[in-house]
Amino acid sequence: MAAGVKPPAYTKEILRLAAGLPDLPPIAAPDASASLRSPTCGATIALTLRAEQGRVTEIAAQVSACAYGQAAAALMLAHARGCDRAAAEGALIAIEDWLNGSSALAPDWPGMAALAPARERPGRHGAILLPFRALARAMEDL
């Protein structure tokens, strides 16, 4: 790709991930929850979870976001089981650093490299970070 040319906004992988976002009802009697809205793009998430010994055992979220936000939520939901508060907070920091260019390496969260086109689209960062912010916020309640 020529210098200064942005990659396509939405790749087939991003759209596949977004389309694969599960439509899960909220968890009844959750151990923790978080409802957040991205101030940069208006994306929203309502996350509920159950945990044992500080680790996620069940998680669900209702998401209203662009394809990037939906793809990020799908990745978060697919790999959050077993996560503890430190892992959730660490993932959030690593993803934020990667998106803003502080780190060239994709975060150690399965599938995040698929969202690389967003690195050059700061307006999408809020939607991508939202599910991970919600996970970290909910983990604070445990």
Transcribe 14-56 into DSSP letters: HHHHHHT---PPPPSS-SEEEEEE-TTT--EEEEEEEEETTEE
Domain that holds residue 32: 23-140
pTM over 0.85: yes
pLDDT band at 48 (very low <50, low <70, confident <90, very high): very high
Write phi, then psi, for 17 (nearest 5 degrees).
-65, -45
Q: For residues 99 and 121, what is the distance between their CA atoms, to the nearest angstrom?
A: 9
Residue 40 lies in a domain: yes
Is residue 43 situated within a structural domain?
Answer: yes
- Report if residue 14 sits inside a domain: no
Flag whether pLDDT at 12 surpasses 70: yes
Is residue 16 domain-resident? no
**C-alpha span between 17 and 19 (Å, rounded):** 5
Residue 2 in any domain: the answer is: no
Task: Provide the pLDDT confidence category of residue 4 given band limits of 50, 70 and 90.
Answer: low
CATH number at residue 129: 3.90.1010.10
Counting residues of the chain whose pLDDT is more than 70, the rounded percentage is 95
**Residue 56 is assigned to a structural domain of this protein:** yes
Contacts of 84 (CB under 8 A, 6+ apart): 54, 55, 56, 139
